[in-house]
Amino acid sequence: MAIFECEPPVSKKVNPFIGVLLFLISIVLLVTTGPLGLIYGLGYKLFTKFMTGIGDFCLEIAISVDQLGNVLMQHLLNHLWITSKGYKFGNRDETISSVIGKNLQTDTLTSFGKLMDRILDFLEPEHSLNSIDYFIQPIEE
C-alpha cells in the first residue's frame, strides 16, 4: 500500500483580467442555468426521496451559499465580527458558521460576532460550534 504525502497548494499569480472574466461568466451561468437546475433538482428529489430528498438538497444549497458568503463578505466580517487576532473569514471551503465557531472557542468574536452566534444558537443550539470544520486549511494572506 502506497502512502502519499500531500503538500498545500502553491499560490500562483493569476491575471486579474481572467479573474474578473471568470467571475462575470459564472454570474451569467448562475442566472441563466441556475433556475433550471433548481427546478429539476427539486423535482428529482421529490420523486426519488420525497420531502427528505428536498430537505437534503436544500441543505446542500444552503451550505454552498454560506461558503459563498464567507468569501464574498470576508473583509466586512473580518472587520465587524472578529478581533484582529481572530481566525479569518474568506476560505472558500468553509462556512461562516464554522468561522464563528472557531472564533467563539478562542474568544476572538466582537460584540457583533457574539450577537450573530446568539442568533444562530437560538435557531439551533450550539450551531456554530457544531459547524466547525476541523479539516479546513487556513488561507494565506
**What per-residue confidence (pLDDT) applies to 140?**
63
* Grid cell locating 99: 468561522
- For residues 121-132, average pLDDT: 95
3-state secondary structure 48-109: HHHHHHHHHHHHHHHHHHHHHHHHHCHHHHHHHCECCCCCCCCCCCCCHHHHHHHHHHCCCE
Tell me how far apart the terminal alpha carbons of the chain are, to the nearest angstrom: 37
Q: What is the pTM of this model?
A: 0.79
pLDDT band at residue 11, thresholds of 50, 70 and 90?
low
8 Å CB contact between 74 and 88: yes
Whose CA is closest to 23, among 92, 98, 96? 92
Residue pLDDT, tens place only, 51-99: 888 999 999 999 999 999 999 999 999 999 999 999 999 999 999 999 9
pLDDT band at residue 133, thresholds of 50, 70 and 90?
confident
- pLDDT at 106 > cutoff 50: yes
| Interatomic CA distance for residues 86 and 113, integer angstroms | 11
